Structure 1
Amino acid sequence: MNKENIKVLFNGYSKFENGNYFANCSCVLIKTTPCIIIDTMTSWDEEKLLNALNEEGVYANDIKFVISTHGHSDHIGCNHLFKSATHIVGYSVSHRDEYFTEPDFRNNEEYVINEHVKVVPTPGHTLQDVTVLVETVDGLIAVTGDLFEKYEDLDDDCVWLNAGSDSETLQRENRRKILDIADYIVPGHGAMFKVPEKFKKN
């Protein structure tokens, strides 16, 4: 798959202003067969999300998989738009009112969508976080949700810890795992970045 098939529709953000916290997630489109959207932002983003998809020549019914890296409201807000899709929300996999028992993410099983895309468990920020791994000719792209908050948290643990962590131990372990295998990371609340070599295991 070409890297051009991976489109970050919106870069996420998170910030404190005047004692209040503001955040929205990164939203990613994978233009392949099947067509996939990852993290659909807040419920107030419906119009801009549909417009962004239309600019890519994609319509709601074209989306066959909706993947929410976890269940927080800024990552699932527009899931309802995609009624033709299988929905993966954290460890929950469903289509309409049917829920599937496989894969068993709790036992580290993976959900393989096609030869280039799979969903793997990466708990930490919540205990049911998942990451989407996308093989491209330019390297492995990991769409991680809030396992990584933004590029700055590579050097400052306070960035991801202040965003909340249900298990600091698991989050550290899974951050390490993704850093070891990924060439690029799309974090939950920042722009995609290339993984610096200094963070790879020797």
Structure 2
Amino acid sequence: MDRTLFLHSTMSEVIVLFDGFSVMNGKDEMKANCSCTLIKGDHNIIVDTMTAWDSEKIIDALQKQNIRPDQINYVVSTHGHSDHIGNNNLFLNAKHIVGYSVSFKENYYAHAFDKGEEYIINSSVKLIPTPGHTLSDVTVLAVSKDADLVAITGDLFEKHEDIENPSIWLEAGSDDSVEQIKNRYKVAQIADWIIPGHGQKFKVTEEVRELLRRQAGDIFLVQK
């Protein structure tokens, strides 16, 4: 991933509508909901639409941003788990991207996410494949109005705390922990901010990058 691809981009407004959370309730139960993010710019994009019981919350939050559901151009679910796709059906004018699947109504469009191909929405927003949590996760990269690069990662990152304590994301589930470690490191190298799947937006500091570099280095011998 080359950050220079964004050098001549326009900028978007990246608005976290809801912070995600996750709390273990005993051994076999978790209380959780995902972060939900709106991107306003050349296109209106909503990322991760929470659970099916959150439709009124999402509609109300969009109304506060002067956006109607029929004005959303793209729905992106970073992966297909139920807490990330629950209200995709509110956005019937939008193209839907759920993990590696791209569709509009009954039409499905092939895209080589599995070969590392990026999906360009516009000059300030693109999707990259970041498998790990599931084998078809994507991350949304958006240039904000502050010219910062914001990565909306879904459950590639569970929350900020999982950087110092990787057991948090491992216990939340990982279909390929090696790929997840690799992609966590990769995203942190270019992002200024990360919006994780189940926590608050956080700044990517050099300390964060170094911790992830060490974790990746145990497997990939990543060089500074």
| The two structures share one fold, judged by TM-score above 0.5 | yes
**Where do 1:18-167 residues align within 5 Å?**
18-19=26-27, 20-101=29-110, 103-136=111-144, 137-167=146-176
Using the TM superposition, name which of 13-22 and 65-74 deviates more. Answer: 13-22
Shift of 1:163: 0.4
Identity level (%):
51
Deviates more, 1:136-145 or 1:125-134: 136-145
Code of the residue aligned with 1:76 in structure 2: it is I
Which of residues 9, 15, 22 in structure 2 aligns to 1:7?
Answer: 15
2:218 matched to which residue of 1? Answer: none
In the alignment, is the contact (CA less than 8 A) between 1:180 and 1:199 conserved in 2? no
Q: How far off its partner does 1:138 sit?
A: 3.5
How far did residue 200 of structure 1 move? 2.8
Which structure: larger Rg? 2
Of 9-18 and 119-128, the range deviating more from structure 2: 9-18
Residues 3-50 of structure 1 show CA distances to partners (whole Å, capped at 9, x for unaligned) of 7x1110000000013553101000000011210000000000000110
What is the CA–CA distance in structure 2 between the aligned matches of 1:159 and 1:2, rounded to whole Å? 33
Does the residue aligned with 1:200 lie in a helix, a strand or coil?
Answer: helix
* Letter matched to residue 182 of structure 2: E
Mark the runs of 5 or more structure 1 residues left unpaired by the alignment: none
The range that moved more, 190-199 or 157-166, is: 190-199
Partners of 2:196 and 2:104 lie apart in 1 by 26
How many pairs were matched up? 200
TM-score (norm 2): 0.86
Quote the offset at 1:2 in angstroms: 5.3
In the alignment, the residues of structure 2 paired with residue 42 and residue 199 of structure 1 have an alpha-carbon distance, to the nearest angstrom, of 30
SS of alignment partner, residue 176 of structure 1: helix
Are 1:150 and 1:191, in contact at CA under 8 Å, matched by a contact in 2? yes
Instruction: Give the letter aligned to residue 135 of structure 1.
Output: V
- Cα distance in 1 for residues equivalent to 2:30 and 2:99: 23
Q: Show the counterpart of 1:192.
A: 201
Whole-angstrom CA distance in 2 between matches of 1:31 and 1:42: 22
Q: Is the Cα contact below 8 Å between 1:7 and 1:28 reproduced in 2?
A: yes
8 Å contact from structure 2 (residues 11, 41) kept in 1? no
- The alignment status of 1:172 with 2:181, answered yes or no, reads yes
Q: Deviation digits for residues 72-94 of structure 1, max 9, x if unmatched?
A: 00000000000000000000000
